[in-house]
Amino acid sequence: SQQGEEDPQALSIQEGENATMNCSYKTSINNLQWYRQNSGRGLVHLILIRSNEREKHSGRLRVTLDTSKKSSSLLITASRAADTASYFCATDKAAGNKLTFGGGTRVLVKP
Amino acid sequence: DTGVSQNPRHKITKRGQNVTFRCDPISEHNRLYWYRQTLGQGPEFLTYFQNEAQLEKSRLLSDRFSAERPKGSFSTLEIQRTEQGDSAMYLCASSDSAQETQYFGPGTRLLVL
């Protein structure tokens, strides 16, 4: 079963705009990760944030984590057409354990 | 390249047939995971190995499914007596137990007719 939900399910923006998507989860976690999946392909790891961290940056990506609300957000700044993909959050309860994924947000960046 | 590889990339089979998929993890990774993803959904965990040992199996993994990792390197996932509901993308991932990031392969897309 899915750990949580992602919001929105789909997002359409113009190139250059920012894209924000949210992830909620149900149980306590060790860390939360975000992955990108281009249509019909494997998942690419984007960023990992640990349960004791509140914010993390990587290039144009910014991730926040609020463990009191059991939620995370992913912000992609200055989006590009190549950012068009589905984005998934995933959590684990302990290092090296299975990942539990959300349902994903489908992002379309229009040139 | 030393990424995770999966074979075949696509498989079409008739209901009732058996199929086997292979995953070759990143060479120094001792953990290997299998997930299944249906259209429009996030991946769901099936099973994982540390070296040769299968440490956890999901309830999704019915008796028709079996996974092995005999030498602690590559792994195979077999589905016996396939059903149309088995149609999905089967994803393999690997990690180093000292790290937490799982690296995914390109997946095997199964279509059961």
User: Which residues sit opposite A67 in a β-bridge?
Assistant: none
| pLDDT value, residue A97 | 82
Please state, in angstroms and as integers, the Cα–Cα distance from residue B10 to each residue in A54, B40, B46, following that order. 40, 18, 19
Mean pLDDT score across all residues of chain B: 93
The verdict on a CB contact (< 8 Å) between B100 and A48 is: yes
For the cut 70, the answer to whether the pLDDT of residue B21 exceeds it is yes
- Out of B31, B33, B103, the one facing A45 most closely (by C-beta) is B103
The whole-angstrom distance between B18's CA and the closest CA on chain A is 23
For the cut 70, the answer to whether the pLDDT of residue B27 exceeds it is yes
Locate the chain A residue with the closest alpha carbon to B30: A96
> Do B61 and B47 form a contact (C-beta atoms < 8 A)?
yes
Between B21 and B1, name the one with better pLDDT.
B21
For the cut 90, the answer to whether the pLDDT of residue B69 exceeds it is yes
| Nearest residue to B77 (alpha-carbon basis) of B64, B85, B68 | B68
DSSP per-residue string spanning A53-111: -SEEEETTEEEEEETTTTEEEEEE-S--GGG-EEEEEEEESSTTS--EE---EEEEEE-
> Do B13 and B19 form a contact (C-beta atoms < 8 A)?
yes
Question: Would you say how long chain B is, in residues?
Answer: 113
pLDDT band at A1 (very low <50, low <70, confident <90, very high): very low
Percent of chain A whose pLDDT exceeds 90: 78
In Å, the largest CA–CA distance within chain A is 40
For the cut 90, the answer to whether the pLDDT of residue A7 exceeds it is no
- Per-residue pLDDT of A18-77, as tens digits, reads 999 999 999 888 899 999 999 878 899 999 999 999 999 999 999 999 999 999 999 999
B88-107 mean pLDDT: 91
| pLDDT value, residue A5 | 80
Report the alpha-carbon distance of residue B111 to residue B84 in Å, rounded. 8
| Nearest residue to B30 (alpha-carbon basis) of B47, B52, B48, B51 | B51
Coil, helix or strand at residue B84: helix
The verdict on a CB contact (< 8 Å) between B102 and A88 is: no
For the cut 70, the answer to whether the pLDDT of residue A4 exceeds it is no
For the cut 90, the answer to whether the pLDDT of residue A6 exceeds it is no
For the cut 80, the answer to whether the pLDDT of residue A3 exceeds it is no
- Out of A30, A42, A104, the one facing B104 most closely (by C-beta) is A42
